[in-house]
Amino acid sequence: MGSRKSDRVAGRRVRAKAGQVTGIAVVVDELEWLALADENPLFEAEDYDAYLATVERRMNAAARAGRQVMIGPLMPDQFETRADASGLARDSPKALKEYERFVADLGPLTRPWLGEPISRVLEQIRAHVRAEALQTRAMPALAAAASVHPQPDTAAQRAMSRAAHVFMALIEDGGDGRHELRVTVHAQEGKLEYTLPYTRSGQVIAFPDDGGEHMVVVLLSIASLGERPGTVLLRSRPQAAFFPGRRKPKQWEEAPQGRDPVPAGGWERNESTLRGWRLAGDLPLPMSEGQLFAFACTGPDGDPVPPEPGTRFRAGFPLDPERFRCCD
């Protein structure tokens, strides 16, 4: 399952002829797999890792045969419904083959396999599933927050425009590196939370392909429109390709305007900088280092919890209202 093998498989995959497509469905949740394997011998395996290894062998075999592999999630309820509708026994290999044909042709979360490890495939599919599930809750919450304004559509458009500018300000001022931007909003419908991983190097910004940046804008808009409490946390790590590692801690040097000081020798891989803002009104309000530490190190029950190892707490940088006058 090494990368060298995957690269060779990927190279063959791109030479697949049109129409030579193999769909493969994978159960992305271990608990769902356990329940399914208890009832259906098609999915029996020693454990979840063994099941995933079997799926990956099928992916590699199809790619070696010169076929294009399309991978998507297997949803147990949907699988059983399609098997019943087709008159196929649920534990029949034909039922799985029919479902995987559906995954290849019409699966909404299906994507081409490019030879990456199965762990990476699962990570990507799970991100899509989470984003889709959150969207089904967030969009009604956005409409409800806008409905309290005299002109709901206009209010929503302005809020979305401002939120998009705020989002980009956080991205731009956060600097280079690997980042995780977590937005939490306590809406009337319940807590809405989304974490967007992204990488930035200069003017190049790489987001996941699940449209997560749109979800960040939606959550910021809900907080603004409905005046709902919430937080924004930005955890930043150095991008190994641009910041060489070091073995000994170096002296940190202060940087202007609350930006990260970067030691001459680079950063340790497990080091990260955490910044925070509270959502209140149109613009996020930066937390001080002390406020952020207290927030991050307090559990839901009020008891103290240890910070993530290597975390450096820094005050959130302020967002100048003048940058967002265009959205008024």
Supply the pLDDT for residue 327: 67
- What does pLDDT average to over the chain? 83
Report which of 244, 172, 179, 247 is spatially closest to residue 207, judged by C-alpha positions: 179
> Over the range 67-98, which residues count as b (16 or more CB within 10 Å of their CB) and which as e?
bbbbbbbbbbeebbebbeeeebebeeeebbeb
Write down the pLDDT at residue 43: 95
Model pLDDT, residue 16: 42
Q: Which residues of the chain have pLDDT under 50?
A: 1-18, 240-269
Domain ranges for the chain, please list them: 3-104+112-116, 131-327
* Count of Cβ atoms closer than 10 Å to residue 219 Cβ: 27
Task: In whole angstroms, give the CA distance from residue 65 to residue 46.
Answer: 27
The per-residue pLDDT for range 193-231, each reduced to its tens digit, is 999 989 998 889 988 777 789 999 999 999 999 989 999
